[in-house]
Structure 1
Amino acid sequence: MFMFNEFKEFAMKGNLVDMAVGFVMGGAFATVVTAFIQGVFLPILAPVMGGVDLASIAYTVSPAEIGADGEVIKEAAVIELGNFIAALISFIIVAFVMFLIIKGMNRMIAKKEEAPEEVPAPPRQEVLLEEIRNLLAKQS
């Protein structure tokens, strides 16, 4: 519930331009993360998984129906688990990084709000009058 309130404060404080910039940067970051997952992470993960390419993991629900002439009558129903897992990994990385960025921004905003305001020094006349009052109080 606390994080929902924190997110609500963030959403209500930002203006449209800030939100648009955030969406563009988030989309660009998601593209970079997807490229990293597909080009670096999955090829490194393949040997660990015994040479299995994660993108090739799929489950065939119903095979394709092929006619006597070799033409496909009905396409195969295939669940591509590998692509889903790769997309899920990308989403988790993007969501985590965006969470850290938003959390950092909220901390900076909170520190700014917590900073005590400097109390301006009283005018010189008031200081002198207080000193005179204190001296008179001592004498009596």
Structure 2
Amino acid sequence: MGMISEFKEFIARGNVVDLAVGVVIGAAFGKIVTALVDGIVMPFIGYLSGGVSLGDAKYVLTAAQMDAAGKEVAAEVAIKYGAFVQTAIDFVLIAFVIFLFLKAYNKVRKPADAAPAATPEDIVLLREIRDSLKK
């Protein structure tokens, strides 16, 4: 079998196509949650923190240095932890919504309870012998 035909067989499998669809939907879903965090959650957190945008929060190690003309000579050195916190909130929300989705999906997809296994024939025969001996 040639490499091209093997590749066609690989792509034609359902699980590869399902994975591709999942990646595309996941990327789109990530954009939706990012828009939710950027547009609703973070402004609300900013409002609660007195108008400070959490995404812009940073710890300045060295302030920017200016010359006499007001031109920046050396850039500010800062640890920008606000962007990290915002990305962490994105991740937690995405993970939580996916958890809820999978929980609902598994509840709907739950297989019917399997019928109890039939009693083996030798056990049935032993019970019949026991019952006939009791009489």
TM-score normalised by structure 1 residue count:
0.58
Structure 2 residue 108 is the aligned partner of structure 1 residue 95 = no
Q: 1:85 to 1:96 in 2, by over 3 A?
A: same
Shift of 1:71: 4.3
For CA contacts below 8 A with separation 6 or more, give which structure has more relative contact order.
Answer: 1
Please name the residue that 2:21 is paired with.
Answer: 21
Shift of 1:90: 0.8
**Aligned mates of 1:114, 1:72 — CA distance in 2:** 72
Please name the residue that 2:32 is paired with.
Answer: 32
Please name the residue that 1:135 is paired with.
Answer: none
- Equivalent pairs, count: 102
2:47 partner amino acid: P
**Aligned mates of 2:15, 2:107 — CA distance in 1:** 19
**Cα displacement string for residues 37-70 of structure 1 (whole angstroms, at most 9, x for unaligned residues):** 1111222222221222222311112223445565
Structure 2 residue 44 is the aligned partner of structure 1 residue 44 = yes
1:80 partner amino acid: K
**Alignment identity in percent?**
37
Unaligned runs of 5+ in 1: 1-13, 117-140
Over the aligned positions, Cα root-mean-square deviation in angstroms equals 2.6
TM-score normalised by structure 2 residue count:
0.60
Structure 2 residue 80 is the aligned partner of structure 1 residue 84 = no
- The alignment partner of 1:61 has SS state of strand
Q: How does 1:100-139 map to 2 (within 5 A)?
A: 100-109=100-109, 111-112=110-111, 114-116=113-115
1:55 partner amino acid: G
**Cα displacement string for residues 76-127 of structure 1 (whole angstroms, at most 9, x for unaligned residues):** 2222222221111111000111223334444555x237455xxxxxxxxxxx
**Aligned mates of 1:54, 1:47 — CA distance in 2:** 10
